[in-house]
Amino acid sequence: MADFLTDRLSNLQQAGTYRELPGTRQGIDFWSNDYLGFARQLHETGLPNVSPAFAPTAPGSRLISGDHDEITSLESRIAHFHGQPTALLYNSGYTANLGVLSCLPRRGDTIIYDALIHASIRDGIRLSGAAARRCKHNDVSDVARLLAAASPEGERFVVTEARFSMDGDVAPLSDLAKVCANAGAQLIVDEAHSVGLDGPSGAGLVAALDLQEQVLATIVTYGKAPGASGAAVLGPPSLREYLINFSRPFIFTTGPRPEQLRGIAAAYEQLRYHQTEARARLAVVVERFCTNAFYQHIIGPGSQLDGPIQLVFPRSQGDVIELERAVLADGFLIKGIRSPSVPRGEERLRVCLHAFNTLEEIDGLCDSLRRHLERHM
């Protein structure tokens, strides 16, 4: 009855891009986004006591039965932590990006987005109806060129990640903010992989660079370094009210449950009191990996990244699949990234480092990578 589905899946398998759920895997974690180890700690010790206890609401959207003063109070505390006027909670980073990009730009507007932007932002852009222009990765001059060529009739938006999820590098936010200010354009920043790592107590790169007033919308996600779930959109009061009135993923979604709110509140407690120490441990782990990987010819000169995401490039897409399986067999949980998640020809092993990884684990991973890479050369 649904043979066309089998045919389409078969095409993926033949192309080497078929995805499968991994299920339970035993091994040393080098693939999760739990960079600071907060999620692991919460799993082992449970949620700390956080106040308030978050009373349950009747199931429904926040515009009907799913709202509560405690939610608004938590949003105010979130905004204060990031040095922002307001915050609005979403159920996930994906729906936050979808909710912002699908309603802020409109038909007649122009969106300029980085070539390596996350899929959730691309989906939001498609729903907006605005003209979309892709710029070269982290290329400020290309952004300026595209802004100058955009129609002056509508609004113009520039969208970037702060730390890029698949490449691990950092956007030139200060320069982008200047270009946007000169052109009268609006800057939107996805901080999914920078919140928890960068800025005071992990408040993010926008806060670190004191750009809050120059960025229209900052999206912070809790499923990475903070070790929780959900997301928040930070910005001026007019942005919050606009999203409440126009953002369909917010309007038509059941409000957050007490468990999720407690997790978010606990994440901010962790960031406030433990981020500095965890970030310092992570820096030691990153340095150890970069040093070993360079001397063992796993990565080349200049390939080391200043952060927990490190990249290892084999020769081909087929090599990525084989290397992933070989390293997994050695007991190291690692993920090969293929197209369409990354451009074809740029397939890579994505190594996620954590504050809880030991130096012995780093050395073992590097030994495994070296042995299997040599076999493919």
pLDDT tens digit sequence for 39-85 = 888 777 766 666 556 767 767 889 988 899 999 999 999 999 999 99
pLDDT, tens only, 76-134: 999 999 999 999 999 999 999 999 999 999 999 999 999 999 999 999 999 999 999 99
CA atoms in the 13 A half-sphere facing the CB of 371: 11
Cα–Cα distance, 285 to 208 (Å, whole number): 22
Tell me the domains of the chain and their CATH numbers: 23-43+275-376 (3.90.1150.10), 57-256 (3.40.640.10)
Cα–Cα distance, 111 to 119 (Å, whole number): 15
Cα–Cα distance, 357 to 225 (Å, whole number): 14
Residue 311 pLDDT class (50, 70, 90 cuts)? very high
Q: Which runs of E-coded beta strand occur in 24-178?
A: 28-29, 86-90, 110-114, 131-135, 156-161
Q: Under 8 Å CB-to-CB from 90, ≥6 apart: which residues?
A: 96, 99, 230, 231, 232, 233, 249, 250, 253
